[in-house]
Each structure stands twice: as C-alpha cells, then as structure tokens.
C-alpha cells in the first residue's frame, strides 16, 4: 500500500542541457513508482521533449535571471507559480537555482507548502543563499564540499548525491558515431563534456592545446571530441579551427550540446570531466580524468574513489590548478597502457553502480519529503 502520494512541483530556470536538468529528469522518472507525482514549472529548452516523454506535466513560466530584473515580471512569476501550486494541489516544492527558486519559495510560503532547495555547487552567491534560508527552505547539498560551503554560511543541509540512471548510461558500441565523425578505427579518442563557460572553458582550451602538442609530436594519433555549449563556445571553436589547420587534420571535433551523451561517452577511450559528467562516464564503463571548475583532481581509480567523491571530481574542490602541461602528461600516461585504462573503466563502473543508483537517491529524497510533510497526509491519496 502506498503510504502517501506527494504532488511535487519541480522548479528550474530552464530546460536547457546541463547537469542539474539531467539530474532532475532522472529523479522525475524514478519518482512515480515511489508515490511522488512530479509537475514541472519554469522556462523551456531543448530538454522539453524528454520531460514530456517522462510523463511530467510542464507549465511554462519565464524564470531566467535576466527576465526577472523587472519588478512587474517578478510579480507575474510569483502569481503564475501560486496558481500552478493551487490548481495542481501541490504539497511540496523542490527548487534548484536562484533567483527562480526565490519566487517559487515565496509563492509556496504564502500557501504553507514546504520547500526543498538543492544546492548543486559552491557558486551560489552567499546573499542569495541567506534569502533562501530566510524563506524557510530545507537545503540539500550534492557533495561534501557543497555541504561544507553551506556550513560556512551557517546553513545546515542534507547530503544527497547525484544519482545515475544505469539503463540510460551503459556501455555500448559507438562504431556508427565514429564513422559519422570520420575518426579512423584504432585512433584514440578523448571526450570532453561540459558547459563551455567560465573555468570549464579554460580547461577545454588547455586540453585542445595539449592535444595539439601530442598530435604534432607524431607519437599518438589522438582525437578530441568536445560536447557542450556556452558563452565561450565561439572562442573554443576558433581555437579548434586554428589547431586543426596547423596540424593538417580535423582531430578536434566540436559537436555542441548533446541530448544523447551516452553515444559520446562510449566513443571515448578516455573521458575528461567532472561532477555529474564523471558519474555518467563511469556508468558507461569509461576511464575518467577528473578536472572541474575548481581544478585538477586526476585519474579516478580504486585507491582514490572516496577522495574523488570528497572533491566531487574536481568540480567543488581540487588538488592543484590544471595546466596544459599537466593535462598532456596525463593523456600520454593514460594511453601508454591500454589494458590499465580499460580496467580503470570497468572498476569505475562497478563503484558508480554501488554508490550512485538513481533509485537509491530518489528513495533518500522521498524520505526527506515525507519528513517535511504534515502527518495528516499519510494514508491519503
């Protein structure tokens, strides 16, 4: 018998491709079997279809930061969110970003609905976090460094890591994609997946330059496939074009934002990434070189699994600053022993499965929801 059915409103800025949006989609798919019925409110984007296919009702509300600069728009947003909460009989709201979350929290507070706020990184401005705390949100952190970051702001949180859908992220052949990108059989592929903005774009540029040096040395026929978009995408494209011309070969491949990242992970002999990308790549059985917003972590293998999680794969904490030289050395080291690389991929897949199954995370989240809801809901449909 189902203890209680929770009518949940998920609120985000948009449905663009990103780690937060992918994570929310995987939760939305896992929730119904646990008695949580999700509804989405927020901006739209290329992931609209995926959310719709998951059976999640979608209410479009303009919640991007630049739209909310106008006070009249702020009022409209709060009003629209209030109406959705009433008409859908929502009894719990889950937010992920600021300032969109602030308006959702305001609407929820007026209606006496509890609000959960998942903090996905240490990049949220402290003043906005304090506003969320004042709004009575219950905080969730996705990694130990984020948990510590919130503690330093005087905010306690529940640590619930990202979960991965292992049906979606799995090992499979990438021969078709390799042929489409005209990458000859036997030539090595490094996949870089990330938003091309801020520090992650800088790491991408370092990777491109390191690959150029390796390619020019003639020791390794290397290809780099870059999946992602962002405000630095044009600069990365220009760099890639220059490097390809200089080397006389198209070996840096920019593929933009991708919905089917599984195909691209499986194409890689090595994946360079961080945060959620790290977990998705490992779920596909791929060896991982972890470099993130915060800095360089290194190869993720059994002796450093718990440390990698503590650092969130270099996204929220790191060991050192990344550099073109450091990245180049790591790539050379990786391809010096193919057997070792494949074993790293297999071990990583087993570890990720043991620790980051989406259903386990959805159950943890459901327990938190239950604890926040009035006991009168229990047993109700």
Read off the pLDDT of residues 112-139 as tens digits, 9 standing for 90 and up. Answer: 999 999 999 988 999 999 999 999 999 9
Looking at domain 175-355, its CATH superfamily turns out to be Glycogen Phosphorylase B; (3.40.50.2000)
On the question of pLDDT at 376 being above 60, the answer is no
On the question of pLDDT at 4 being above 60, the answer is yes
Instruction: Compute and round to an integer the Cα radius of gyration of the chain.
Output: 21
**Segments making up each domain of the chain, as ranges:** 6-163+357-377, 175-355
The pLDDT tens digits for 184-211 are: 999 999 999 999 998 999 999 999 999 9
Higher pLDDT, 58 or 18: 58
Average pLDDT over residues 274-303: 97
Give the alpha-carbon dihedral of 342, 347, 350, 354, to 10 degrees. -150
CATH number of 6-163+357-377: 3.40.50.2000
- On the question of a common fold for 6-163+357-377 and 175-355, the answer reads yes
Mean pLDDT computed over every residue of the chain: 95
Q: How confident is the model at residue 377 (pLDDT cuts 50, 70, 90)?
A: low
The pLDDT tens digits for 65-90 are: 888 888 999 999 999 999 999 999 99
On the question of pLDDT at 351 being above 50, the answer is yes
On the question of pLDDT at 6 being above 70, the answer is yes
Q: How confident is the model at residue 379 (pLDDT cuts 50, 70, 90)?
A: very low
The pLDDT of residue 380 is 46
pTM over 0.85: yes
């Amino acid at each position: 018998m189902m203890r209680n059915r929770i009518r949940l409103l998920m609120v985000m800025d948009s449905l663009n491709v990103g780690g937060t949006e992918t994570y929310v989609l995987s939760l939305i798919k896992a929730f119904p079997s646990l008695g949580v019925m999700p509804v989405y409110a927020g901006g739209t984007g290329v992931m609209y279809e995926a959310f719709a296919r998951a059976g999640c009702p979608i209410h479009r509300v303009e919640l991007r930061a630049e739209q909310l600069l106008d006070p009249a728009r702020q009022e409209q947003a709060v009003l629209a969110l209030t109406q959705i909460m009433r008409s859908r009989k929502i009894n719990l709201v889950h937010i992920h970003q600021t300032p969109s979350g602030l308006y959702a929290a305001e609407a929820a507070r007026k209606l006496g609905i509890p609000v959960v706020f998942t903090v996905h990184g240490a990049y949220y401005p402290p003043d906005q976090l304090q506003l969320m705390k004042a709004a009575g949100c219950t905080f969730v952190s996705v990694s130990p460094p984020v948990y510590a970051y919130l503690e330093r702001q005087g905010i306690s949180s529940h640590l619930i890591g990202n979960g991965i859908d292992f049906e979606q992220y799995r090992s499979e052949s990438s021969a078709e994609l390799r042929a489409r990108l005209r990458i000859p059989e036997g030539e090595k592929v490094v996949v870089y997946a990330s938003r091309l903005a801020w520090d992650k774009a800088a790491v991408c540029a370092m990777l491109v330059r390191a690959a150029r040096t390796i390619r020019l040395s003639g020791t390794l026929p290397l290809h780099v496939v870059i999946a992602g978009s962002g405000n630095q995408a044009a600069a990365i494209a220009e760099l890639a074009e220059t490097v390809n011309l200089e080397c006389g070969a198209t070996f840096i491949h920019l593929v933009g934002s991708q919905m089917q990242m599984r195909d691209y992970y499986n194409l890689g002999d090595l994946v360079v990434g961080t945060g959620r990308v790290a977990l998705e790549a490992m779920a596909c059985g791929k060896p991982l070189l972890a470099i993130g917003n915060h800095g360089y972590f290194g190869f993720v293998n059994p002796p450093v699994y718990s440390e990698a999680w503590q650092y969130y794969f270099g996204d929220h904490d790191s060991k050192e600053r990344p550099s073109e030289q450091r990245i180049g050395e790591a790539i050379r080291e990786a391809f010096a022993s193919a057997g070792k690389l494949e074993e790293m991929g297999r071990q990583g897949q087993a570890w990720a499965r043991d620790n980051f199954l989406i259903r386990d995370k959805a159950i943890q989240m459901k327990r938190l929801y239950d604890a926040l809801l009035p006991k009168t809901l229990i047993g109700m449909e």
